[in-house]
Structure 1
Amino acid sequence: MVTTPQPTKVIYPDCDGNPISDNTRQFRWIVVIKENLEILFDDDPNVFVAGDLLWYPQEGNNKIRQAPDVMVAIGRPKGDRGSYKQWEEGNIAPQVVFEILSPGNRLKEMAKKEKFYDCYGVEEYYIFDPDRLDFNGWLRDEAGSLEVIEQPENWTSPRLGIRFELQDEQFTIYRPDGRPFLTPTELAKQAEQQRLEAEQQRLEAEQQRQRAESAEARLRELEARLRELEGDRHRDE
């Protein structure tokens, strides 16, 4: 009897063995972009944001993979994943990816990444070098290829609505409402300040209510006293 060999099960590792970042500056920018995008799309259950997550675009091939520093998959539900297996995600490729450069990145490596993202359907690809303050972007054109964005230093992402600004040796990312992306520490301080301001407003409103109630009670007392005096005057007549 001829035994048909069983196909070997393909394992898709959740880790590629590479560190998420080479230094604190690179890591800080990865966190800032990833966390602010999470906040921006917090109310949309069908926007998945991830940092340093392995993306496998082809079922059956665990060699073709990439781990963007930050990626956004619009149309996919939030939730934890060990990796992004595209065939399990409605065959939806991440539309937007970010790479934050470090001194260890090489031109050949970045060229391979750009080729991968172009080949597998990324619509917007952004690279920021925090050491050189250099920002570049690519946008998929009508012909279906990623093309260089000519003026990325003042550019708004078509997919995300966020705006990038590079001027006066400072790189800033703005939300659609104009508020800048902040570090988690800055966000925590901002939230605490807003809490304190809200509490102050509550106390002021409570004090105003108490003053109004006190004034109303005093008015009632005066009106009652006037009625008493009016009654006394009539009796005296």
Structure 2
Amino acid sequence: MAVSSNELETEIVYPDSDGKPMAESDATRDYLIYGVEALSNYFQNQTDVYVSGNLFIYYKKGSPSAVIAPDVFVVFGVEKKKRMSYKAWEENSQLPQFILEITSKTTQENDEYDKPIKYAQLGVQEYFQYDPTGDYLKSQLKGQTLEEGRYQPLATTRLADGVLSIHSQVLGLDLRLYEGELRFYDPQTQKKLLSPQEIEQARQEAEQARQEAEQARQKAEQAQRDAIPRLKEMGLTVEQIATALNLPVEEVRAYF
């Protein structure tokens, strides 16, 4: 009995995981999460930009072994939605244009030699590497751009404060090292891309400042009202007191 090509295709399984627990150092995990969350927040209003990380990307239909799983990646021109895995043939053949790998002792050789070859073959325009501990890469942060099928180093810049900065043309963002800490920056506003935790902390600090300002305002207004009886005893008129304290005449008259 003949078996159709469609029936054969349905038998192919593309796993969503390798079944192994994700074992990462604190630093690797933290920067992986920061990269995905900060970039997701930055591109949140663009419905055709997909940001993810540590997700299986299948790039050849019919071959489950043709797979990569970058730490952080960005794909332009595809729908922003949740995925269990990414299959290029279901995404108009779009693959990541930006990849960031967080290098560690166990991934150094793969990140340095094997992945650049694979990513270049797949047409990944920019490939960045970051070493949180500074132990495994000659340069703790480096970026490469694809030119004629091969990666060429992206220019690094030292800012006035000595901070190392590399511009990503694909993202339109700078990747900078502040005392060894990787952060994305918007070069137009010079503002750092915050993680959700940093955004929440900033919100809480802003709310606290607002409350303190409101309390100070109420205290100042009360001090004005407390001055009304004293000025009244000094013989000032309602209008004079209202002018002196910058209060409505009606409010001052209530004390007379």
**TM class, shorter-length:** 0.7 to 0.9
Alignment map for 1:47-196 (pairs within 5 Å): 47-108=49-110, 110-132=112-134, 134-141=140-147, 143-151=148-156, 153-166=164-177, 169-176=179-186, 177-196=189-208
| Cα distance in 2 between the residues matched to 1:203 and 1:170 | 40
Quick one: which amino acid aligns to residue 37 of structure 1? L
Residues 15 and 54, structure 1, Cα contact 8 Å, conserved in 2:
yes
Q: What TM-score do you get using the length of structure 1 for normalisation?
A: 0.78
Give the secondary structure class of the aligned counterpart of 1:175: strand
Higher RCO structure, 1 or 2 (CA under 8 Å, sep 6+)? 1
Bigger mean CA offset, 87-96 vs 203-212: 203-212
Quick one: which amino acid aligns to residue 158 of structure 1? Q
Residues 42 and 193, structure 2, Cα contact 8 Å, conserved in 1:
no
Give the secondary structure class of the aligned counterpart of 2:191: coil
Shift of residue 16, structure 1, vs aligned partner? 2.5
Q: Summarize the Cα distance change of 1:18–1:98 in structure 2 as closer, same or farther, 3 Å threshold.
A: farther
Q: Does 1:216 align with 2:248?
A: yes
Give the secondary structure class of the aligned counterpart of 1:114: helix
Structure 1 alignment gaps of length 5 or more = 226-237
Shift of residue 21, structure 1, vs aligned partner? 4.7
Give the secondary structure class of the aligned counterpart of 1:125: strand
Shift of residue 102, structure 1, vs aligned partner? 1.7
Q: Deviations over 1:175-208 (max 9, x none)?
A: 2122224444333211211233345566778899
| Cα distance in 1 between the residues matched to 2:115 and 2:41 | 27
| Cα distance in 2 between the residues matched to 1:198 and 1:182 | 21
Q: Summarize the Cα distance change of 1:21–1:215 in structure 2 as closer, same or farther, 3 Å threshold.
A: same
Structure 2 alignment gaps of length 5 or more = 158-163, 225-241
Bigger mean CA offset, 196-205 vs 173-182: 196-205
Q: Summarize the Cα distance change of 1:161–1:104 in structure 2 as closer, same or farther, 3 Å threshold.
A: same
| Cα distance in 2 between the residues matched to 1:109 and 1:18 | 20
Q: Deviations over 1:19-41 (max 9, x none)?
A: 54521111001111111111111
Q: Summarize the Cα distance change of 1:114–1:35 in structure 2 as closer, same or farther, 3 Å threshold.
A: same
Residues 143 and 166, structure 2, Cα contact 8 Å, conserved in 1:
no
Residues 172 and 180, structure 1, Cα contact 8 Å, conserved in 2:
no
| Cα distance in 1 between the residues matched to 2:128 and 2:210 | 38
| Cα distance in 2 between the residues matched to 1:67 and 1:217 | 71
Q: Summarize the Cα distance change of 1:21–1:183 in structure 2 as closer, same or farther, 3 Å threshold.
A: farther
Q: What TM-score do you get using the length of structure 2 for normalisation?
A: 0.73
Measured on the aligned residues, the alpha-carbon RMSD in Å equals 3.0
Q: Deviations over 1:202-233 (max 9, x none)?
A: 67788999999x933438969xx9xxxxxxxx
Residues 155 and 166, structure 2, Cα contact 8 Å, conserved in 1:
no
Q: Summarize the Cα distance change of 1:94–1:148 in structure 2 as closer, same or farther, 3 Å threshold.
A: same
Question: What number of residue pairs does the alignment pair up?
Answer: 218
Residues 33 and 181, structure 1, Cα contact 8 Å, conserved in 2:
no
